[in-house]
Each structure stands twice: as structure tokens, then as C-alpha cells.
Amino acid sequence: MHIIMSKVKFYKEKEVPLEFHRVKIVQKLTLLPVEERLHALREAGFNSYRMQQKDVYLDMLTDSGTNAMSDRQLGAMMWADDAYAGSTSFLTLEKAVQDIIGKKYVVPAHQGRAAEHTVMTALVKEGDVIPMNYHFGTTITQIGLAGGRFVELINKETAFKSDSENPFKGNADINLLESAIAEYGVSRIPYIRMEASTNLIGGQPFSVANLREVRRTADKYGIRIMLDATLLAENAYLVTRREEEFRNKSLKETVRTICDLADLVYFSARKFGFAKGGVIATDSLEEKYKMDQVTATYEGFINYGGMSTKEIEAIATGLYEAMDEEYTCQSPDFISYFVKEASEYGVPMVTPAGVLGAQIDAAKFCDHLTFRDLPAAAVCAALYIAGGIRTMDGGTGGEAFPDSESDRKADMELVRIAFPRRVFTLSQTIFCLDRLKWLFDHRHMIGALAFDDLPMLQRSFRSPLKPVGDWPEKLAEQFRKDFGESR
């Protein structure tokens, strides 16, 4: 399924997503010759997290903190009020959150995982179990540190099927929720966590209908719901495209409908709000007081929580901008365009197109490799050789917490080609597509990668990798042959 692209029709030209912004500030980019790309990749230990930005042409690693800011956001940053307590900027944020999220009390944090630390430290206790549609790395770390554990509710058959028509792969399975409640008991389950546009299965949304069912079940047992709203604007955008009831609803109405179904909402403003920081919102004064204690200990005073007041102003403005469909559609519509074009060429992409990035199914792309060959990491390295494009390994090589033996298999072998909001142009998108198509035609040249050393934690961020054989050299030679002098 591909979402409808922009409302503007074209006369003779091929229909493409149309931007509703123009460029006012630019950053110089460099595309190194393929021999230098190979050298830079080797220096970085074949791991995209270890690459230097100066060696990267298109940085499509992540949409976290890499989004473009608007003129209004930059303007708002200039009148930030730096008061330690009672800052006017915090009041502005509070008002924006009350208006958009619809919760009374606001707790700031310096980024998403800090918000999670605040929430889990204050509200999860030893032995608690948090059922959730699907895990996110930082979330389960914080739950674990608080002495709790998690169970997943996603329907794995649907969610892990990369080639699919299911519009809401992020839905929670209510039968699994009932089983978790029966198994662990209500007293051990203070919250159910729902994550908007489930990140690690390819930015796949849940439906409002599903969230309503989760709410009904939660109410039956007196359990609260926490919403990870980091990718909420895009989840709501896809709901307006894919869920009949919301076809004529505004983004703001849809976002509010979703937030009203949750008791506590938190998000990383590195994605939601086009800035940097983290925010928690609740109607419970008791929850707020508990979280304030954690904020004051770990983050900063309760009116800034580790953020600069400039960022606080930028988030407040950014939240309103995220409710503007013409801004928010840019990233998902570019992703949809990219996925459609790549799929038509035969590249195995995750469908339907999700948010935050286009995702390649690397297990299918490299069906001559096994998960032990780290296929997603290998495709990332190969895409950098092909076009200086930095992408993210969302596969076995990127698992943050491997079991004691080194071969824990990831649920999916994904390569994420992130589309940070309002950042890349259509010609850059087409360039990326072009290089991906070339790589697809030469996919059997992609070989295995292996760990060069194996730290047990967060190995994706740190571990150098090494190619098995000389396939990177061969691929670079093939590039020269096919592209001549071209970079």
C-alpha cells in the first residue's frame, strides 16, 4: 500500500511529492570519489556509526536531531527566556503541550531516553511488567534499570513480514495483552506502553481503532497507558490516510484523539517538534510530583530539565508546525515515493512504506548471506561505497544486547534509509534511488562482514567490522567500470 502523495496534481510531469517549504540556510556537502569512499569506510571499520560526517554525502543514518528547523523556530530561539525558575519559555512549552497533547502537567527532559529514565524511575518498580506493542532500545534499558521487564504485544507474523499490505503493523494484539495480564497479574502491570509509528519494525503505525481496544482492556483492569509519542505526528498522518474515520480529520484533531486515549505521553523532541529535547505530559499531579523528584536529581530544575531555553522555544514552535500537514507530510511522502520506486525495480523494501525512513529487507536483498554474515551492515557499507550514503544497520549487527554468544539473530534484517524532516531534496532522493538500483543489480558482489571486536553492550555504535574477503574492493572497481569518471 502506498499513501496518497501531495494534493497537487501534475500536468505532464511524473507525479512526485511536492515540498511546502523553501531553502533559506544551506550546508555544503561533499561526494568523495569512490576510492576515497572505500578508504573512509575502511578507516571507520565498516560501521556507519563510526564514519565522519565530512566523508558522507547523504547522511541518512537517522532522523533523530537531524531535522531542518524553520525560520519561525530560529526566530523563537532568539527570545528564549533564560530564567532558572519560572522561565517564560517553559510557560510557552507548557501551553503548546496542553494545546496539542491535551495534558495539564509538563515535565521536561534533555532528550527522549532521559524522559524515559524519568518516567520509568518514578513510576516503575522492582518486579513490574510493562506490556508494549514493540520494544525500543532505550525504553527497555530504562525499564530494566528500574527493576521491571517487558512483554511484546505485536503480532509477529504480521509485523515481521516485510512485504505486506497491512496498513497498521504497529497494532497491539489484544489476545496477547489479555494473556500477559492473566500471566503476570494486574498488580504487576502499572502501565501498557504503546509506541507511535513503531520504530524498530520500520516506522509502522498503529490504528486508532486498535488503541481504543487497548484502552478498553486497560480500563477493564484499571491499568494506565503510556504513549511514546516520538513519532506521533507521522502516525497520525498515516491514520488520516489509512483509517476511514479520520480521512477528513486534521492532524491536530487526530493527534488529540490519540493522546486522549493515553494517560501519560512522552516523546523525544529530536523527532517530534523538529528540535532537541524531551517532554513528558500527564494529567496526574501525583505522577508529576514523583517525576519532578527524578528531574531535579538527574536533569535540572523542573522548568528546563536539562534543555536550553532556546530548545524549549524551538520545541514549542515545532509542535505547532508538526500539526501542519504540509510540513509533516514531507518525510512520509518522500519515503512512500522512494519505497514505491525501489519496489517497482524489484528491490525488497518494507511495505507499506512507514515513517522516519525507507527500509530495505537486507535478508532478501542478500539472500546469499546468512544472519551471521551481518547482511544489513554489509548493505549499509555497500551503499556507502555506491554513493557516499550513510544508512543504519537495523539487523543482527545492530542488536544492542547480544546474548552471551555472539550470534543472536535480530527479528528482522533491516537497512534504514532515514529521511530527516524537511532536509533532502528530490534530486538527492533520486540519486539515492539510482545508487540503490545499481547496488541491487550487483547485490551478489556484497559479501559478509564480521565483528573485529565484540563489546557486549551497544555494539552497533562502537564495534569495528571487517569484510570477509575483498568484496568492498571488487565493488568499488565495478563502480569505476560502470560509472567511469563519475563520483
Ligand X SMILES: Cc1ncc(COP(=O)(O)O)c(C=O)c1O
Q: Does 234 bind ligand X (CB under 6 A)?
A: no
Q: Does 397 bind ligand X (CB under 6 A)?
A: no
The answer to whether the beta carbons of residues 279 and 97 sit under 8 Å apart is: yes
Part of the chain binding ligand X (CB under 6 A), chosen from 106-114, 160-168, 329-337, 372-380: 106-114
For ligand X, the closer CB: 114 or 374: 114
Applying the rule CB under 6 A, the residues between 157 and 216 that interact with ligand X are 195, 199
Part of the chain binding ligand X (CB under 6 A), chosen from 134-142, 212-220, 234-242, 423-431: 134-142
Rg value, the chain, Cα: 22
Smallest distance from ligand X to CB 201, Å: 11
- In angstroms, the CA 106 to CA 112 distance is 14
CA dihedral for 321, 325, 326, 332, sign (positive or negative): positive
User: Could you tell me whether strands 224-228 and 191-195 are parallel, antiparallel, or unpaired per DSSP bridges?
Assistant: parallel
Q: Does 136 bind ligand X (CB under 6 A)?
A: yes
C-alpha cell at 53: 560526517
Applying the rule CB under 6 A, the residues between 254 and 273 that interact with ligand X are 268, 270
Smallest distance from ligand X to CB 112, Å: 2
* Contacts with ligand X, 274-303, as mask; x by CB under 6 A: ----x-------------------------
Part of the chain binding ligand X (CB under 6 A), chosen from 164-172, 225-233, 304-312, 346-354: 225-233
C-alpha cell at 315: 520545541
Q: Does 117 bind ligand X (CB under 6 A)?
A: no
CA distances from 19 to 274, 301, 312 (A): 16, 39, 26
Smallest distance from ligand X to CB 270, Å: 4
| 105 three-class SS | strand
Residue with cell 527532559: 109
Residues contacting ligand X: total by CB under 6 A: 15
Q: What is the DSSP string of 59-118?
A: E-S--SS-PPPPHHHHHHHHT----SSS-HHHHHHHHHHHHHT--SEEEEESSHHHHHHH
Helices (H), 270-329: 285-294, 309-322, 325-328
Smallest distance from ligand X to CB 269, Å: 7
> Residue 392 pairs with which residues in a beta bridge?
416
- In angstroms, the CA 167 to CA 448 distance is 33
Which of 17, 112, 131, 375 is close enough to bind ligand X by CB under 6 A? 112
Applying the rule CB under 6 A, the residues between 303 and 362 that interact with ligand X are none
User: Could you tell me whether strands 389-390 and 58-59 are parallel, antiparallel, or unpaired per DSSP bridges?
Assistant: parallel
Q: Does 118 bind ligand X (CB under 6 A)?
A: no
Q: Does 134 bind ligand X (CB under 6 A)?
A: no
- Binding residues for ligand X, rule: CB under 6 A, are 64, 111-113, 136, 138-139, 195, 199, 228, 230-231, 268, 270, 278
